Amino acid sequence: MSLLRFQNINKSYSDRPLALFNRAPVQVLHNINLTLRHKEILGVIGESGSGKSTLGRLAVRLSQPSSGQIFYEKKDITNLSKKSFRPYRKKIQIILQDPHNALNPSLSVGASIEEALTAQHKHMNRAERRDRVVSLLQQTGLDPTVASRRPHELSGGQKQRIGIARAIAVNPTLIVADEVVAALDVSVQAHILNLMLDLRDQFNMAYLFISHDLEIVQKISDRVAVLYKGRIVETGHSNELFNHPLHPYTQALLASSTVAPTNAKPASLRLNENTKNNSQGCIFYNQCTRRKEICKVSAPDTIEISPNHHLACWII
């Protein structure tokens, strides 16, 4: 059974209300259909501006889709009121990229973690919350004595561990991890990733793991979804997608990294006015070296190439 499901999701952003000139809304997600299963790590990759973070924000209701539906364990949560969505807040949590700005500088580490417990576990008394904070710090590899310290006294890795402790404090079943190790030193990244894997097994959680680091996504993910200009062009099991990418964009993206497979095709991936496509055709048409006439006039449907490997391309 699916844990989280995006169905025909579209998201557009309009100009700011005080903008001098009104322009057409910018659509950042196009007809997204994606499923995340229980205890699964689903990696989401793509260039900056492809819509990865927007997808994560939709999952935790920090943003609303322009159209489409979002299901959590078969329950449509798309348009729930704040009060109706409150029980899902403890089930769906997010860890942000910048651990420093994610923490209130005026609060101690312990108080920051305790905030989540106060909001979602109202039955706990103060002593129980303090005991829970100590337990969470230990579970995330921190000494309980850091509870009295302020964020500016901690390293980047320690602050990200605090962010993880805050997220798991309410016993979620899904965590959106948006570039969680991007701001950390390489030596610290491995410790944080191993911690996340351990916690996944311990708490039976699933991750929507958003990252531009393809090597990390390959190592940590069970399945991977590839976004290009707000469209999912390919999804599949991590090993299959990284070793045998089928979409020309996926091949080009992997070719630019250290995880390039043998069939990866180098290509220019710069997003500029020259790559603007006819809305009727394939979004990758102008950059594809294997394009056909049908690619110019008709957008491809998503088809299943092999079990759990889906592709939106005419050339296969």
Q: Are residues 174 and 303 in the same domain?
A: no
How many distinct helices (H) and strands (E) make up the chain?
Answer: 10, 12
The reported pLDDT for the residue numbered 20 is 58
Sign of the Cα pseudo-torsion (66, 120, 129, 135, in order): negative
For residue range 135-172, what is the model confidence (pLDDT) as tens digits?
A: 999 999 999 999 999 999 999 899 999 999 999 998 99
Q: Are residues 215 and 255 in the same domain?
A: no
Evaluate if residue 99 carries a pLDDT over 80.
no
The CATH number of whichever domain residue 114 belongs to comes to 3.40.50.300
Confidence of residue 200 (pLDDT cuts 50, 70, 90): very high
In a domain, 163, yes or no: yes
In angstroms, the CA 299 to CA 25 distance is 21
Question: What's the whole-number mean pLDDT along residues 36-61?
Answer: 95
In angstroms, the CA 229 to CA 269 distance is 11
In angstroms, the CA 203 to CA 77 distance is 23
Q: Are residues 193 and 252 in the same domain?
A: no
In angstroms, the CA 296 to CA 279 distance is 9
In angstroms, the CA 30 to CA 232 distance is 8
Q: Are residues 193 and 126 in the same domain?
A: yes
Q: Which domain holds residue 274?
A: 247-312
Q: Are residues 46 and 189 in the same domain?
A: yes
In angstroms, the CA 309 to CA 316 distance is 13
For residue range 227-281, what is the model confidence (pLDDT) as tens digits?
A: 999 999 999 999 999 999 999 999 999 998 776 675 555 554 444 334 455 568 9
Q: Are residues 173 and 254 in the same domain?
A: no
In angstroms, the CA 188 to CA 316 distance is 41
In a domain, 15, yes or no: no
Evaluate if residue 179 carries a pLDDT over 50.
yes
Q: Are residues 166 and 57 in the same domain?
A: yes
69 SS3 class: strand
In a domain, 280, yes or no: yes
Q: Are residues 176 and 48 in the same domain?
A: yes
In a domain, 1, yes or no: no
In a domain, 253, yes or no: yes
For residue range 272-293, what is the model confidence (pLDDT) as tens digits?
A: 334 455 568 999 999 898 899 9
Question: What's the whole-number mean pLDDT along residues 176-201?
Answer: 90
Evaluate if residue 12 carries a pLDDT over 50.
yes
In a domain, 300, yes or no: yes
Number of domains in the chain: 2
Q: Are residues 155 and 86 in the same domain?
A: yes
User: Mean pLDDT score of the chain, rounded to an integer?
Assistant: 88
Write out the H or E segment, with its range, that includes residue 60. Answer: none
Angle in degrees, CA 44, 48, 50, rounded to 5: 60
Confidence of residue 68 (pLDDT cuts 50, 70, 90): very high
Q: What percent of the chain is modeled with pLDDT above 70? A: 91
The answer to whether 162 touches 103, Cβ cutoff 8 Å, is: yes
Higher pLDDT, 14 or 76: 76
In a domain, 231, yes or no: no
Question: What's the whole-number mean pLDDT along residues 9-14?
Answer: 91
Evaluate if residue 26 carries a pLDDT over 90.
no
- The pTM of the full predicted model, rounded to 2 decimals, is 0.89
For residue range 302-315, what is the model confidence (pLDDT) as tens digits?
A: 999 988 899 999 98
Q: Are residues 85 and 204 in the same domain?
A: yes
Task: Read off φ and ψ for residue 304, nearest 5 degrees.
Answer: -90, 115
Q: Are residues 211 and 261 in the same domain?
A: no
For residue range 213-227, what is the model confidence (pLDDT) as tens digits?
A: 999 999 999 999 999
Q: Are residues 87 and 210 in the same domain?
A: yes
Contacts of 111 (CB under 8 A, 6+ apart): none
In a domain, 69, yes or no: no
Structure tokens at 304: 């299943």
